[in-house]
Amino acid sequence: MRPWRTATLVIASLAAIELVLLVVAGSALVSRDEARATAKTATPAKTATPATAAVARKLRTTSASVGKVAVELPRRSVEVVVLNGNGRKGAAAATASRVSRRGYRIGLVGNAASHDYPRSIVMYRLGFAAEGKRLARDLGVPIVSPLDGMRPTQLAGAHAVLILGS
């Protein structure tokens, strides 16, 4: 064999080994970040005591596995993000006040990514369907769904999002 072929094979082998190591390290980092994100979305409200949080988590898991209705957090423990999706000035602030009067905590208040929502919608984080449905029922919002088009990190710890439509 010629020396340049040997050198090429050695370099290619080293590159392949480095590639495998990078893929393994990247997979480990991604799975760790996903585990953290899952843990963050599964944690109850910050105001709950550790004992209450553990009981609520256990009840949610138990009720979900048996097919019963999930236990709802009290309204004062549910944080809501209110976004203006209709373009009317001050609509989100006025609605946030209404939501607050119902007993919910208000997180962020601002504008949605677009102002062309034809109807209001309530979206909830994974594990908080009961709270999202109750919020929608309290406000008379007919459309309720899991988060769609938003990441849980965009909620800044809130449990649900109310996007105002026309």
Average pLDDT, the chain: 80
Q: Which two tokens stand for residue 98?
A: 């209404």
Query: What pLDDT was estimated at residue 53?
Result: 54
3-state secondary structure of 158: coil
Q: Say yes or no: 98 and 33 in one domain.
A: no
- Dump pLDDT digits (tens) for 77-135: 999 999 999 999 999 999 999 999 999 999 999 998 888 999 999 999 988 999 999 99
25 found inside a domain: yes
Give percent of the chain above pLDDT 90: 48
1 found inside a domain: yes
- Contact between residue 148 and residue 123 where contact means Cβ atoms under 8 Å apart: yes
Query: What pLDDT was estimated at residue 58?
Result: 52
Query: Residue type for 51, please?
Result: A
- Contact between residue 83 and residue 122 where contact means Cβ atoms under 8 Å apart: no
67 found inside a domain: no
Tell me the residue range of the domain where 143 lies: 75-164
